[in-house]
Structure 1
């Protein structure tokens, strides 16, 4: 069981279930827009590490075009359209992930779920981010999002795992709303999103 505070799961359900139902018309409109602008599939699905590193399938709205070497669409920067940037900056691409929260794969607040291949690259301290369920938003997201280094992100994730509380979650949720309106930290310097985390050796920051 997650070391998060007592009642965290109940709070997740109290927020995610009404939010999922209320957002269905918005999600339907976004799905149509994604289909028209980016094609199918409308949803992006990828295996990510959850609580204790256990894999689950993350679901989001697609925000990139398919890889097409002939058309020069290879890197994230090349595949990310203006529409995709808008989806990410508003966090509307995350709405389907509410289903992950309802299922118990994720929490409303927690370290963001990254890639399975990163699991072997973490230091023991960085790996503490998996002591709690991953979240739709987290302490790192209100502290700079993709504009801060991996080391800073993971330090904040470990701090959250050790100090999670209802008060901290409320502060993060309110900070996330502010961050979305300001649209700060969407990308790292000289990168469409974030450079790959390579571990302590050769890590680009």
Structure 2
């Protein structure tokens, strides 16, 4: 039922939002260059890797050694606007079509984080990741990693069709208010380095 709902909503969303998707893609090509779509390997259901798609928001500026400059330097005002309006997330509708992710679920994070989770935190991979989730509508990037993971696990244990509808509605409200886009002092959020002791116990 959830997969069918995701598929239908993704098809309708792509159809309705296709002008916005096209305009955004053209503007990114003009302002940031190629590639227009950024893809990165992320863990999906049961930790199985897949490529997540997002609109590019940063430049490819590098230092004299060929290393990429810090994110806060490469993130342009245009890129900040894309993130503020969550337009960078639109290509993930195609991930939903493919079945890589769901509309609602724990956000897919970096592959390198897999070995850092406690057993309880790793439960977030018992369901498909999502474009939005319970943690996103309860703080997004403004809350700590421990709080985020606790909310993710709560969703795994309490997921339902009606909860998903509530989260989708709350997501729309959050986007309009541009709440929780980044953690204070960071472009998005601090890097997760593991938890020696948290609300779930010790590693």
TM-score bucket of the superposed structures, by smaller chain = over 0.9
Which residue number in structure 1 is paired with residue 86 of structure 2?
91
2:51 is paired with a residue whose SS is strand
2:3 and 2:73 mapped to 1: Cα distance?
A: 39
**Runs of 4+ in structure 1 over 6 Å off:** none
Offset at 1:22?
1.7
Q: Give the CA deviation at 1:9.
A: 0.5
Q: Does 1:101 align with 2:124?
A: no
Deviates more, 1:99-108 or 1:9-18: 9-18
Deviations along 1:60-111, one digit per CA (max 9) or x if unpaired, are 1000111411499611111111111110111111111100000000000000
- Of 2, 8, 22, 1:8 maps to 2
Structure-2 separation of matches of 1:49 and 1:20: 24
What residue is the counterpart of 1:50 in the other structure?
44
| CA distance in structure 1 between the partners assigned to 2:173 and 2:18 by the alignment | 23
Q: Is the 8 A contact 1:140 1:157 kept in 2?
A: yes
Task: Map 1:1-205 to 2 at 5 A.
Answer: 7-70=1-64, 74-201=69-196
Q: How many aligned residue pairs are there? A: 197
TM-score scaled by length of structure 1: 0.92
Which runs of no fewer than 5 residues in structure 2 stay unpaired? 199-203
RMSD: 1.7
Q: Gaps spanning 5+ residues in structure 1: where?
A: 1-6
Partners of 1:67 and 1:172 in 2: how far apart?
37
What TM-score does the superposition give when structure 2 sets the normalisation length? 0.93
After TM superposition, give the deviation of residue 201 of structure 1 in Å: 4.3
Could you say what secondary structure the match of 1:23 adopts?
Answer: helix
User: How far apart, in 2, do the equivalents of 1:165 and 1:187 lie?
Assistant: 28
Separation of aligned partners in 2, 1:26 and 1:181: 16
> In the aligned structure 1, how far is the partner of 2:67 from the partner of 2:164?
42
- The 3-state SS of whatever aligns with 1:74 is coil
